[in-house]
Amino acid sequence: MLTANERERYDRQIMIPEITEAGQEKLKAARVMIAGAGGLGSPIALYLAAAGIGRLRLVDHDQVTLSNLNRQVLHWSDDVGRKKVDSAGEKLRCLNPDIIVESIHATVAESTIDGMLQDIDVLVDAMDNIPSRFVLNKAAIDHRIPFVHGAVAGFEGRAMTVLPGKTACLRCITRGPVQPETYPVIGVAPAMIGVIEATEVIKYLLNLGGLLTNCMLRYDGMTNDFLKLTVKRNPQCEHCAQVYGKE
């Protein structure tokens, strides 16, 4: 049940015929984990908070540095040195006091991820390296939690949605992890991809439209090209072969 304040706050999206008050109540009841509170995590969290996702769980192990500020728009100059989850959580609670923001200052790893995913409806990738993304992908499949992947470099980005047991996962289409590196990036790239990821979350929760399942969306900000590439599950996938078709 929405409060009068919530009806007013979300009025413009409740007006969307595909959402209505019933959809807004679903968003309010939803629990979403965002793994990473940086370049991707900032727009994802901002737009999901603004949309009224009832419970956002932010996970990040970093502190804010000056070199983050070209793209990590939830963190401002005065936040340098603070934990990212504290800096981000504060802004999100100001933006929308009607939602619950949980801040977890911890590293995403095989040994920690299971506990982080408790009571989560959707997991969103906002990491900055491939090995961590594989940890998320595997855990999402093990827990049967939909997983929205996104990644960026330079002016480019990509996004894909995984429905465990039903569609191709991240491991299905890649040979294996590579060593973490520091990638060049300008803020508009994670902004674009983060908003696409947030849109996927909202559509999934409301069962609307078409998701980026079995599809890798590539975006090139230099040319303004969007390219939808078809991906398929790998029957020998070491992450999802065991669960495929069992959902």
Partner 1 sequence: MSVQLNIHKTHRRYTDGKDIVEVEGKTVGECLSVLIEKYPGMQNVLFNSKGELLNIVEVYVNGESAYPNELARTVRDGDVIYLVFFLAGG
Q: Show Cβ contacts of residue 112 under 8 Å, excluding neighbours closer than 6 positions.
A: 106
| Beta carbon nearer to partner 1, 19 or 127 | 127
Radius of gyration of the chain from Cα atoms? 17
| Beta carbon nearer to partner 1, 80 or 173 | 173
Alpha carbon distances (Å) from 14 to 20, 22, 94 = 4, 8, 22
Residue 224 is a binding residue for partner 1 (CB under 8 A): no
Q: Minimal distance in Å, beta carbon 75 to partner 1? A: 14
Give me the sign of the Cα torsion angle 33, 17, 212, 9.
negative
Q: Minimal distance in Å, beta carbon 168 to partner 1? A: 8
Alpha carbon distances (Å) from 102 to 2, 50, 61, 82, 154 = 21, 15, 14, 16, 30
Tokens of 185: 């990036």
| Beta carbon nearer to partner 1, 6 or 128 | 128
| Beta carbon nearer to partner 1, 1 or 222 | 222
Answer for which of 236, 245, 246, 247 binds partner 1 (CB under 8 A) is 236
DSSP at 52: T
Residue 109 is a binding residue for partner 1 (CB under 8 A): no
Interface residues for partner 1 in 155-184 (CB under 8 A)? 156-158, 172-178, 180-181, 183-184
- 8 A C-beta contact, residue 6 and residue 24: yes
Alpha carbon distances (Å) from 109 to 86, 132, 139, 141, 180 = 20, 7, 10, 15, 14
Answer for which of 222, 224, 245, 246 binds partner 1 (CB under 8 A) is 222
Task: Tally Cβ neighbours within 10 Å of residue 223.
Answer: 10
Residue 41 is a binding residue for partner 1 (CB under 8 A): yes
Q: Minimal distance in Å, beta carbon 16 to partner 1? A: 29
| Beta carbon nearer to partner 1, 173 or 243 | 173
Q: Contact region for partner 1 (CB under 8 A) — 19-27, 112-120, 199-207, 220-228? A: 220-228
Residues near partner 1, by CB under 8 A: 36, 38-41, 125-130, 133, 150-154, 156-158, 172-178, 180-181, 183-185, 189-190, 216, 218, 220, 222, 227-232, 234, 236
